[in-house]
Amino acid sequence: MATSKRRSVVLHFDLNRTILMSDAAGGRTMENTVDYLLSECTWGYVNPHRPSEWICVPDVTNHSRPTLLTYKQFVDEAYPYQSLATAEVQDIDQIKALNQITKKNRLMLQSAFTGGKDAPGQSVRDSFKEVMQKLHFPLQEQREAANELAATMPTSSLQEAWSKGRYYLLPSFLQFLAFLASPDVTEQELDVKLIFRTFGDDIEWVAKELELLVNGQHPVGLPPLPDRFRLQLEPSACRVATFYRDGFEANGTALALGTLLKVPFPSNEGADRFYAALSPQIQVIRGFQSIHETLNNMLQGATILALRDYYEWWSAHAEEGQYGKLLLIEEMAQKEGDVTIFFDDHIETHRSHIVDVRTVRSGAPVDFKQSRGTYLERVEPFAAITDPNYYIALFKKHLYSSQEKLAMDGQLCERQRSISPPIKTSKLSLLDAEMELLRTLEEEVTREDEKSKHDKITALLIRDDDDDDYDESDDEDT
């Protein structure tokens, strides 16, 4: 009996504010991070008499009026980034310096959103307290176990969180890992892989927490995870790699294997010379097709990989998505039921912002309207903290959505076969058969064109006045 092909499910996870709440790359403490996430989901309006003042409307939970904007949006608009692609000044060092100042101003304001008597978000301070409470281990024995383990660790974001009795990896993500190891997933025809993505240097501590989960030594007391959930950092294991980007086209992206060290920016020597000087064992892969093949090969023998992305290239271009974290996709594989998706809190409702989705074959960017909900999933940090089943629900949503689409595509193909006129070729020459096939296709195209024209005319007659614009409320920065 022929065995069915296992469906490939490759899940890319951002780290900061997606599966953990300690933003080492952004220079924020956990308290800063919680203030930041509240600033991006709390609405208000600009004081018409004092444009530099934002006034909170605490009872509004969504973009119900066009005059409203989140506090994060307000600050971002007050302090815009410069882009190397559009700025009048084309000096990289100068743009980098200007953006660092802008980032510092954003960080200072957004990270103090609810703190202090005159803070703009003081009215939602209770929400801050609720979230901080959810970020602590609920049981005293769990907090004590975390504290004991922290005492054995060097100073790090993991050590800091556990020494204070707080989660590092969110409980919703810990539950998701346990779910992946359960029969609910392992008994299905699924080949699930995880790829951690970050601009920062926190991969080492995620790997440490995974090791404790596999060894059955984690403070939460979950059953030990299978050994395949270890993240091996040794260069020889080839489970980690670092991106370098210095151009928009395919040859402007390189991937260094077996290292988490990144090329300084700007660099006069580029990735090849930098890594050659660092270690002759580091292999540098360049170009989308080669990088995609390399990552597929790395995944053949692993469940978990970690990639460090190149923040400097993204920052130098005003944090636009087409310069961000690279996600290479094969559209044909998706049509066959495979799943590739990137989870990141920086993805917005109207643009990718931080993820550069490209097709492997052509290297062309994928339009956000196509990638949104298919290859990209915006993570809501508040829900990820407060809902223990958050990531399990997202996984099921995308898996079932892919299955339904596959079933619908199959039904469509069957329907097309049933309604397409038969092409009689048995008594015709090959050339005649090809000509008849061409005429048949032309007739079908003509019918589709006529139907399209009819639909457009109908739409004009019954058009609804409502616009279906994307909510532009979720601008992000690191």
DSSP result, 366-408: PPHHHHBTTTEEE--HHHHHH-TTHHHHHHHHHHHHHHHHHHH
Regarding predicted confidence, which is higher, 409 or 10?
10
Q: Read off the pLDDT of residues 316-363 as tens digits, 9 standing for 90 and up.
A: 999 999 999 999 999 887 778 899 999 999 999 899 999 999 999 999
Average pLDDT for residues 115-143, to the nearest whole number?
94
Tokens 């939602």 identify what position?
124
Q: Per-residue confidence at 85, pLDDT binned at 50, 70, 90?
A: confident
> Cβ distance 15 to 202 under 8 Å?
yes
Q: In terms of DSSP H, where are the helices of 247-366?
A: 270-278, 288-300, 311-315, 331-335
240 forms beta bridges with: 306
> Cβ distance 41 to 63 under 8 Å?
no
Q: Per-residue confidence at 440, pLDDT binned at 50, 70, 90?
A: low
Distance CA 60, CA 244 (A): 42
Average pLDDT for residues 434-455, to the nearest whole number?
52
Q: Is 461 helix (H, G, I), strand (E, B) or coil?
A: helix
What is the DSSP code string of 42-83? -EEEE-TT-TT-EEE-TT--S--STT-EEHHHHHHHHSPPPB
Distance CA 64, CA 93 (A): 41
Indicate if the pLDDT at residue 153 is higher than 70.
Answer: yes
264 exposure class (CB count in 10 Å sphere: 0-12, 13-18, 19+): exposed
What is the DSSP code string of 155-189? SSHHHHHHHTTB-SB-HHHHHHHHHHTSHHHHTSS
Average pLDDT for residues 459-471, to the nearest whole number?
35
> Cβ distance 121 to 115 under 8 Å?
no
What integer best gives the mean pLDDT of the chain?
A: 86
Residue 61's CB is within 10 A of a number of other CB atoms, namely: 9
Report the range of poorest mean pLDDT among 56-60, 97-101, 119-123, 375-379. 56-60
Q: Is 194 helix (H, G, I), strand (E, B) or coil?
A: strand
What pLDDT is stored for residue 459 in this prediction? Answer: 38
Average pLDDT for residues 366-395, to the nearest whole number?
96
Q: Per-residue confidence at 435, pLDDT binned at 50, 70, 90?
A: low
What pLDDT is stored for residue 413 in this prediction? Answer: 53
CB under 8 Å, gap of 24 or more: what pairs does 121-130 form?
121/35, 121/38, 121/39, 121/42, 121/56, 121/71, 122/56, 123/56, 123/58, 124/38, 124/42, 124/56, 124/58, 127/38, 128/34, 128/35, 128/38, 130/386
Identify which of 287, 244, 249, 250 has the alpha carbon closest to the alpha carbon of residue 266.
244
166 forms beta bridges with: 136
Identify which of 368, 435, 308, 233 has the alpha carbon closest to the alpha carbon of residue 16.
308
Q: Read off the pLDDT of residues 199-218 as tens digits, 9 standing for 90 and up.
A: 999 999 999 999 999 999 99
Indicate if the pLDDT at residue 425 is higher than 50.
Answer: no
- The letter for the amino acid at 55 is I
What pLDDT is stored for residue 162 in this prediction? Answer: 97
Identify which of 122, 105, 127 has the alpha carbon closest to the alpha carbon of residue 27.
105
Regarding predicted confidence, which is higher, 116 or 187?
187
Average pLDDT for residues 400-410, to the nearest whole number?
71
What pLDDT is stored for residue 461 in this prediction? Answer: 31
The CA distances from residue 237 to 116, 129, 242, 437, in Å, are 48, 42, 14, 53
Distance CA 117, CA 204 (A): 38
Report the range of poorest mean pLDDT among 1-5, 129-133, 211-215, 281-285. 1-5
**What is the percent of the chain with per-residue pLDDT over 70, rounded to a whole number?**
81
- The letter for the amino acid at 364 is A
What pLDDT is stored for residue 154 in this prediction? Answer: 96
What pLDDT is stored for residue 86 in this prediction? Answer: 78
Please indicate, yes or no, whether the overall pTM of this predicted structure exceeds 0.85: no
Question: Dihedral through CA 86, CA 92, CA 95, CA 98, nearest 10?
Answer: 180
Angle between helices 71-78 and 30-39 (to 10 degrees): 90
Q: Per-residue confidence at 396, pLDDT binned at 50, 70, 90?
A: very high
Phi, psi angles (nearest 5°) of residue 434 = -65, -40
Name the CA radius of gyration of the chain, rounded: 25
Regarding predicted confidence, which is higher, 86 or 97?
97
Average pLDDT for residues 379-389, to the nearest whole number?
95
43 forms beta bridges with: 70
Indicate if the pLDDT at residue 477 is higher than 50.
Answer: no
Tokens 């989140």 identify what position?
70
Indicate if the pLDDT at residue 286 is higher than 90.
Answer: yes
The CA distances from residue 104 to 98, 114, 250, 357, 468, in Å, are 10, 18, 32, 28, 35
What pLDDT is stored for residue 65 in this prediction? Answer: 67
What pLDDT is stored for residue 84 in this prediction? Answer: 81
